Structure 1
Amino acid sequence: MSFDGVFTRAMVKELNRDLENGRISKVYQPFQHEIILTIRANRKNKRVLLSAHPSYARIQVINDNLSNPDSAPNFCMVLRKNLEGAYIEDIQQLGNDRIIIFSFRNFDEIGDQRQMELIIELMGRHSNVFLIDKQTRLIIDCLKHVPFYQNSFRPLHPGVPYQLPPHQDKANPFALEKVELEAIAATFSAELPLFKSLQGAFQGLGSDSAMEISYLVEQDGLSVADAILAFRQQLESGIPTLTEESAKKQHFTPFAFRSLPGEKKAYTSLSELLDAYYDEKASRDRINQVASELLHIVHTEWKKNQLKLKKLDQTLLETEKADVYRVKGEILTAYLYQMQKGDTEVTLANFYDDEKSITIALNPALTPSQNAQKYFSKYQKLTTAVKYVNEQIEQTHAENEYLESIETLIQLSDPQDLEEIKDELRESGYLKKKYKGKQKKHKSSKPHKFLSSDGTTILIGKNNVQNDQLTLKTARKSDIWLHAKNIPGSHVIIESNSPSEETLFEAATLAAYYSKFQNSSNVPVDYVAVKHIRKPNGAKPGFVIYEGQKTLYVTPDKELVRTLKAD
């Protein structure tokens, strides 16, 4: 289901309940399309996400503590100036549309009261967030600017009057009495499917909502008006539900829609429901926003190495011919008297192969002795190359493993932790170092922290540099180290020398989850005391070797990760 007018209505009701008389204490913009308002309400801090993302536009309360960027975008600065310290007076939906209006009161620099509105339009790729002066109706600022020359009907930038987006003349299904609903239903064409007629006549009905009303008509024998009234009643008392129709198709609805096939899971709030639905999608998109450059660099270097390996393998095949050149050189040396300068080839008896004839190509510009020496030189060059080529193949494979580990850690990272991976790539020479101006040092993040069921601390590195720090410097020699076997992933430390079987199993599950095989089953995870871990000289960040390990086979469990997370 999309975030339609029906879901918007339910969300506004939930926000009014949770944020009543709330006060804005903090505003930040972690990503291009997202604003976070920290609101103090009912003695609790609530983080409200306002997303104008083209694909994931929504509003909800979130639990994730997204980082505050080092420098705030202009719109964020405007919101801070005008809204920090402001009180929420009201939260309303415009009709049954996907437009939510926050009304605020605040005081300016000289103590005069100001009234403002924060308007969130959830319109797909046209989604936007506006800060409006309530008295003048002028736009103070907005998240996405649209100049006059791009849209003469509705320019969107500071100083112009706020205008509602163009909308069709449709009725609000929640504002009509039964008689009025019946009058509209009487105009429906029998040639159109009922859900299409519902969407054409009523405002804010997404396809899932329209299909649910149609279901009530067709399956329960209700009139259209009674079906809409029944739908409205269920919306008031329903439980937020996620319906999984298939592995790739899910629907979030404000209550359990009977028209949707599949397994249904109930949630305590709409925001919790949206967290479950958008968690991976939004996180992956945030990663792509922030890390697209890093992933491109990693993929480019990996492709270069694949070509390099192909050439090295070809060279290695050629070195297998080394003995052939030696044999030809020795045969030529033994029969120098049978050749003369100017010959292009010679056929001689091969005393290494039962005197069988062998034809050897010659350079007519060289003497017989020089031709023999040329074959010996080729032999010497190839035998010398074997050691070098094998070393290069080994180094290139090691570099590819490192690049795969970087790619895996990027995919597993929180977007706010990617700056450290970027620093790692600079130190490793994959990114150019910045020399201009004074460099701002990024505050190092801490490893992920988890508590096992019996309270034992489990730490997990977020990047290769942190993996080294955690395993080789922070952990005690008696602590237990875990890592997905022969798979790129994070280092995991159990801060105990004798963890329970349950803790060991949970830590192994975390190690599998924070690895390249996060979506696999029966993942092998090695574990061993830290004292058996060592890092070879010159090895890439994150690479260690160990001995004496044992192996567990586990299946990554996202729900367990959420349950055990302590930070």
Structure 2
Amino acid sequence: MNQKREMTSVDLVALTRELRDYEGAKVDKAYLYGDDLVRLKMRDFDEGRVELLLEVGDTKRAHVAAPEHVPDAPGRPPNFAKMLRNRLSGADLADVRQYGFDRIVEFEFRREDQDTTIVVELFGDGNVAVLDQNGTVVDCLDTVRLQSRTVAPGSQYGFPQARLNPLEVDYEEFAAQMEQSDTDLVRTVATQLNFGGLYGEELCTRAGVEKTKDIADAGDDEFEAIYHAMTSMFDRLKSGDVDPRVYYEPSEDDDGSETRVDVTPLPLEEHAELESEAFDSFNAALDDYFTNLGGTEEEEGSAANAGKPDFQAEIEKNERIIAQQEGAIEDFEREAEAEREKAEALYGNYDLVDDFLTTVREARDAGYSWAEVEETLEDAKESGMDEAQPFEGVDEQNGRVRVRLGDHSIWLEPESGVEKNADRLYTEAKRIEEKKEGALEAIENTREELEAAKKRKAEWSEEPASDEAEEDAEDEDIDWLSRSSVPVRKPERWYDRFRWFRTSDGFLVIGGRNADQNEEIVKKYMDNYDRFFHAQAHGGPVTVLKTSAPSEPAQDIDVPRQSLEEAAQFAVSYSSVWKDGRGAGDAYMVMPEQVSKTAESGEYLSKGGFTIRGEREYFRDVAVGCAVGITCEPETRVVGGPPSVITEQAELAVELEPGRYAQGDAAKRVYRKFREAFADTSFVRKVASPDQIQLFMPPGGSRIKD
């Protein structure tokens, strides 16, 4: 695909929202490069140096850039730059706004003696116009004199003729605009609603409608779906809930390098086949994209590294792939959970769904067409008939009906009944989870490639710092919470996919997340002199205290009592004891040779189950306890386990106890605690997102301990 060279109207919705964070920044100097790039150098109380770039040539962009991405100051300033300095020096940035849904951004600056507005046109030939407080053009890069508008020094600035603004329309206006079209759905969204081709395709995909369906054949079902997709996207952008991505595709040189091709404020389903890199802000994504526009990853290194293999590019590529794979795994988990929730919704509304399906089935058996069934159900729904309230639509081609139960829209086969429809949904959830297993295998391969690249880079590294310098660094007591920037150091570990923690004495303890992992830990990772723990209660993870690393020979060593007690607490806390809301439970410990997969005569062992033979050492009335924290050195990562351990190891820890909040909700509360404590909130987002925190939490409900 062609590289994106112009920002879209959708981009500007997200951008202006972020740029308002710089309100109050004071202008130091203005520069003009060539005849199409304006640079405003500013100072912000919180952010420090702020570099605003406005480009309106073949490339059209507006964003804040990192200082290292700003070109060197040009020679003697032209008249336009001098005028900007005279008007803006010492002025404060007061407002940033998008004009309607056009590709126009207005920057308003205020100074005691005069106010100035800079209008940046990112469409057509592009332009930058400078206006006084009355809207009169002081100067502009290009003079425009058209029948519809004028942009010239001394005249009132003329905005382009207003077009429909999808940011402000209600559903009735939206549907009316759609119905006026004489083309298909996707072209209507792209042109009549001013979204352009890419976002026209994206909204139709998100809405689940047939893109090429003629407007004459479309109706409220399609219009409502597109309108909902549009308003949902705008709600995220306007609230700042962005997830910016820079997208790559293989270079035409076929040399393994990649080229940036697009930058968006949200992940796009239309780009699902492309590799992407996530950024903390849309500004940062725009800066990365336009700074490297036209270049490949391999072209980004400096001349100083000309003779050195670009290990960093390889590392970043693998890290980006891992992030994508992790995102895919999360998507599979969400999709599978959604299918299960749909099935449970059917059973939760069994009588209502059964009556509804019976009504549809009897109507079809009586010879009614699908169109007649749909019309009858719509009338019944409007009249208030209970059985018809869930109805949303029919799929005549596949003989299905769609119902809404709570937050879920569900397709049902009337001939199958409630149970078979629910079984179909459970089967689909299982199929999605199988795709997740394949993704887990792929991510392990990528992690191995990442570790290999890091190892090669380390072999090329310069000589380490002197012992004296290293000692100084070790002795330095850093206040990580107040640091404005915390470096991320998170190497991949083989045990990351399990539950794990390190005891007070440094022993690694791992636990399974499911039956498959329980089997894997015992068969692959439990050595002769490790310790096997399990809660006496049903539904607990296999827990193994490692006395040696997998690559080391097993050693018969004494394990301190404190570490054993910590492992026992871990086994109890991540079992059904916590899920049931109990405060304590029993656990036992045995040696590896006592653990067998062979069942006793006449018995059967399910997956993840084991037979324990011989005497067990019991830990009675072990109190449940869990803390989740963030470590900053020597590694930056989330850790979780017994409170007595985690509070000592982590820079900041939050202690939990069984409670009423679902695991996901409790994780979000912990995440907010972390964000409130760390000055570098972007660091928290990178290493301790709610999803990452949730991996270290016990099953069932929790709450933050007072």
- TM-score, normalised on structure 2? 0.37
- TM-score, normalised on structure 1? 0.46
- Return the structure number with greater relative CO, CA threshold 8 A, min gap 6: 1
